[in-house]
Structure 1
Amino acid sequence: MSAYGPVFLGLVLLTAAACSTENNTSLTRAYHNLTSKYNIYFNGYESFRRGLKKAEEAVEDDYTRLLPVFPVSAGIATGSISPEMERAIRKASKVITQHSITARPKKKNRQLSEKEKAFYEKNEYNKWIDDAYLLMGKSQFFMEDLYLAERTYRHIIEEYNDPEVKTEARIWLARTYMELGNMREAERALNLAETRRDLPRKLKKFLHTASADFQIRQERYESAIPYLEKALSLARKKKDKTRYAFILAQLYERTGKRAKASSLYRQVIKMNPPYEMTFNARINLAGTFDIENRDSREIRKELRKMLRDEKNEAFRDQIYYALGRLSYREGNVEEAIELFRESARTSVSNTTQKGISYLAIADIYFSRVHYREAKTYFDSAVIFLDNNYPGYQQIFSKSRNLNQLIGYVETVEREDSLQYVASLDINARNQFIDRLIQKVREEEQQQRQQEMEVQRNTMQYYQNQARFRNQYAESGKWYFYNQATIGLGQMEFKRKWGERKLEDNWRRANKSQVSFGENGTNTPVNGQEEGAAGEMGDNKSREYYLKYLPLTDSLMKISHRRLMEALYGAGQTYRELFNDYPRAIESFEELNRRYPDHPHQLETYYALYQMYSDAGNTAMAGRYKSKILSEFPGSEMAGIVSDPEYFRRQRERLNQLEQAYREVYSLYQNRQYEEVIARTDSILEKYKNNDLTPKFRYLQAVSTGRISDVRVLKNELTALMEDYPTHEVAQLAGQVIDLIREKNPDIRQEDEEKLAEQIYRYNPEVPHYVLLAVDPARVDLRRLTFNIINFNIEYYTNANYETMEEDFDNQLKIFTVREFPNREVCEDYLENIRNTPGVWDGTNLPPGQPLMISAGNYAALMSHKSFTTYLSFYKKQYLRD
Structure 2
Amino acid sequence: MRRALALLLPALLLLLAGCGVRSHSVLSRSYHAFNTRYNYLTNAEEAFNRTYRSALLSPSMQTDTLLPPLDVAAHVAYNAFVQHQPLSTFSQTVQKCRMAIEKHSLLSNDREHNPAMGRIYLLLASSYFYEGRLPDAEALFLYLENLYIRDEPIKATVHCWLIRCRLLYGHIEEAARLMEDNRSSLSNNAPEWLYLLTEAELQLAAGNDAEALNHIRSLARYAPGVELKARAYLLAGLLNYRLGKEMQETNKNLRKAVNLPIALADEVTAHLLLAGQNKKSEETIKRMFMKPRYANARPRLAYTLGQIYSEQRRYNEAEETFLSGIDSSTENQRVYVRKNLLGAANLCECRNSYDAASGYYRRWLETEPPQDTLYNRLLVRYAAIHDLLLNSAVIEREDSLLQVASMPPEEREHIIDNRIKAHRKQLLDEGSFDSREQNVRKAVENSYQDFPSDSAESFYFYNPQLVAAGRQLFERQWGYRLPEDHWQRKNKTVQKGGTIEQRETGNFTKAQTDPLHRDYHLAELPLTAEQKRAAQKRILKSLETMATIYRDSLQRPDLAARTEQECTRRQADFSKQSQLMK
TM-score (normalizing by structure 1):
0.41
Pairing of 1:228-247 with structure 2 (within 5 A):
232=216, 235=219, 238-240=222-224, 243-247=227-231
Q: Secondary structure at the match of 2:416?
A: helix
Asked if 1:568 is matched to 2:579, the reply is no
1:344 corresponds, among 284, 304, 326, to 326
The equivalent residue for 2:280 is: 294
Cα distance, 1:440 vs structure 2: 2.5
1:406 corresponds, among 370, 386, 389, to 389
CA distance 1:540–1:555, shift in 2 (3 Å): same
Q: Secondary structure at the match of 2:280?
A: coil
Deviation per CA, 1:402-440, whole angstroms, max 9, x where unpaired?
444434433322221122233345554333222112123
CA contact (8 A) 2:405 2:525 kept: yes
Cα distance, 1:96 vs structure 2: 1.0
The equivalent residue for 2:401 is: 418
Asked if 1:369 is matched to 2:352, the reply is yes
Pairing of 1:704-715 with structure 2 (within 5 A):
none
Between the two proteins, the alignment pairs up a number of residues equal to: 466
**2: distance between equivalents of 1:269 and 1:49?**
37
1:359 corresponds, among 338, 342, 347, to 342
Cα distance, 1:584 vs structure 2: 4.0
2:43 corresponds, among 51, 62, 68, to 51
CA distance 1:538–1:56, shift in 2 (3 Å): farther
Asked if 1:530 is matched to 2:541, the reply is no
**2: distance between equivalents of 1:376 and 1:49?**
47
Structure ID, larger Rg? 1
**2: distance between equivalents of 1:388 and 1:550?**
47
Q: Secondary structure at the match of 2:477?
A: coil
**1: distance between equivalents of 2:106 and 2:89?**
26
Pairing of 1:148-159 with structure 2 (within 5 A):
156=144
CA contact (8 A) 1:86 1:139 kept: yes
**2: distance between equivalents of 1:133 and 1:188?**
31
**2: distance between equivalents of 1:586 and 1:255?**
49
Asked if 1:134 is matched to 2:145, the reply is no
Cα distance, 1:298 vs structure 2: 4.8
Instruction: Give the residue type in structure 2 aligned to 1:206.
Output: L
2:315 corresponds, among 293, 313, 333, to 333
**2: distance between equivalents of 1:297 and 1:541?**
61
CA distance 1:344–1:204, shift in 2 (3 Å): closer
Give the stretch that moved more between structures: 256-265 or 417-426.
256-265
CA contact (8 A) 1:409 1:566 kept: yes
CA distance 1:578–1:426, shift in 2 (3 Å): same
**1: distance between equivalents of 2:275 and 2:167?**
40
CA contact (8 A) 1:170 1:190 kept: no
CA contact (8 A) 1:538 1:544 kept: yes
Instruction: Give the residue type in structure 1 aligned to 2:557.
Output: N
**2: distance between equivalents of 1:295 and 1:234?**
24
The equivalent residue for 1:578 is: 556
The equivalent residue for 2:461 is: none
Pairing of 1:80-119 with structure 2 (within 5 A):
89=100, 94=104, 96=106, 100=108, 102=109
CA distance 1:89–1:408, shift in 2 (3 Å): same
**2: distance between equivalents of 1:278 and 1:527?**
48
Cα distance, 1:93 vs structure 2: 5.4
CA contact (8 A) 2:259 2:297 kept: no
What RMSD, in angstroms, separates the aligned Cα atoms of the two structures?
Answer: 6.1
Deviation per CA, 1:438-478, whole angstroms, max 9, x where unpaired?
123334555669xxxxxxxxxxxxxxxxxxxxxxxxxxxxx
Cα distance, 1:530 vs structure 2: 2.3
**2: distance between equivalents of 1:186 and 1:361?**
35
Asked if 1:558 is matched to 2:534, the reply is yes
CA distance 1:430–1:221, shift in 2 (3 Å): farther
* Structure 1, unpaired ranges of 5+: 23-30, 103-122, 176-182, 215-219, 450-507, 509-520, 599-881
Instruction: Give the residue type in structure 2 aligned to 1:580.
Output: D
CA contact (8 A) 1:55 1:77 kept: no
Deviation per CA, 1:114-133, whole angstroms, max 9, x where unpaired?
xxxxxxxxx44xxx549655
CA contact (8 A) 1:352 1:386 kept: no
CA contact (8 A) 1:382 1:396 kept: yes
CA distance 1:527–1:95, shift in 2 (3 Å): closer
Pairing of 1:578-617 with structure 2 (within 5 A):
578-580=556-558, 583-584=562-563, 586-595=565-574
CA distance 1:272–1:238, shift in 2 (3 Å): farther
CA distance 1:248–1:57, shift in 2 (3 Å): closer
CA contact (8 A) 2:309 2:318 kept: yes
User: Which of the pair has the greater relative contact order for Cα pairs under 8 Å at 6+ separation?
Assistant: 2
CA distance 1:322–1:270, shift in 2 (3 Å): closer
**1: distance between equivalents of 2:312 and 2:420?**
47
Cα distance, 1:542 vs structure 2: 4.0
CA contact (8 A) 2:420 2:516 kept: yes
**1: distance between equivalents of 2:260 and 2:519?**
66
Give the stretch that moved more between structures: 279-288 or 550-559.
279-288
Pairing of 1:759-798 with structure 2 (within 5 A):
none
CA contact (8 A) 1:355 1:381 kept: yes
**1: distance between equivalents of 2:304 and 2:228?**
22
Cα distance, 1:40 vs structure 2: 5.5
**2: distance between equivalents of 1:589 and 1:423?**
22
**2: distance between equivalents of 1:63 and 1:56?**
15
**2: distance between equivalents of 1:254 and 1:378?**
32
CA distance 1:530–1:285, shift in 2 (3 Å): same
CA distance 1:594–1:347, shift in 2 (3 Å): farther
CA contact (8 A) 1:318 1:353 kept: yes
% identical equivalent positions: 16
**2: distance between equivalents of 1:184 and 1:236?**
24
Q: Secondary structure at the match of 1:294?
A: helix
CA distance 1:298–1:206, shift in 2 (3 Å): closer
1:431 corresponds, among 414, 420, 424, to 414
Instruction: Give the residue type in structure 1 aligned to 2:389.
Output: I
CA contact (8 A) 2:234 2:254 kept: no
CA distance 1:277–1:162, shift in 2 (3 Å): same
* Structure 2, unpaired ranges of 5+: 61-69, 75-86, 433-442, 444-467, 480-492, 497-512, 578-582
Cα distance, 1:45 vs structure 2: 4.5
**1: distance between equivalents of 2:341 and 2:140?**
47
Deviation per CA, 1:660-718, whole angstroms, max 9, x where unpaired?
xxxxxxxxxxxxxxxxxxxxxxxxxxxxxxxxxxxxxxxxxxxxxxxxxxxxxxxxxxx
Cα distance, 1:275 vs structure 2: 3.4
Cα distance, 1:238 vs structure 2: 3.4
Pairing of 1:162-241 with structure 2 (within 5 A):
165=154, 168=157, 187=169, 196=178, 197-198=181-182, 199-201=185-187, 202=190, 206=194, 209=197, 232=216, 235=219, 238-240=222-224
CA contact (8 A) 1:76 1:142 kept: no
CA contact (8 A) 2:238 2:250 kept: no
Deviation per CA, 1:74-129, whole angstroms, max 9, x where unpaired?
756949x99xx579927x954616xx4x3xxxxxxxxxxxxxxxxxxxx44xxx54
CA distance 1:594–1:134, shift in 2 (3 Å): farther
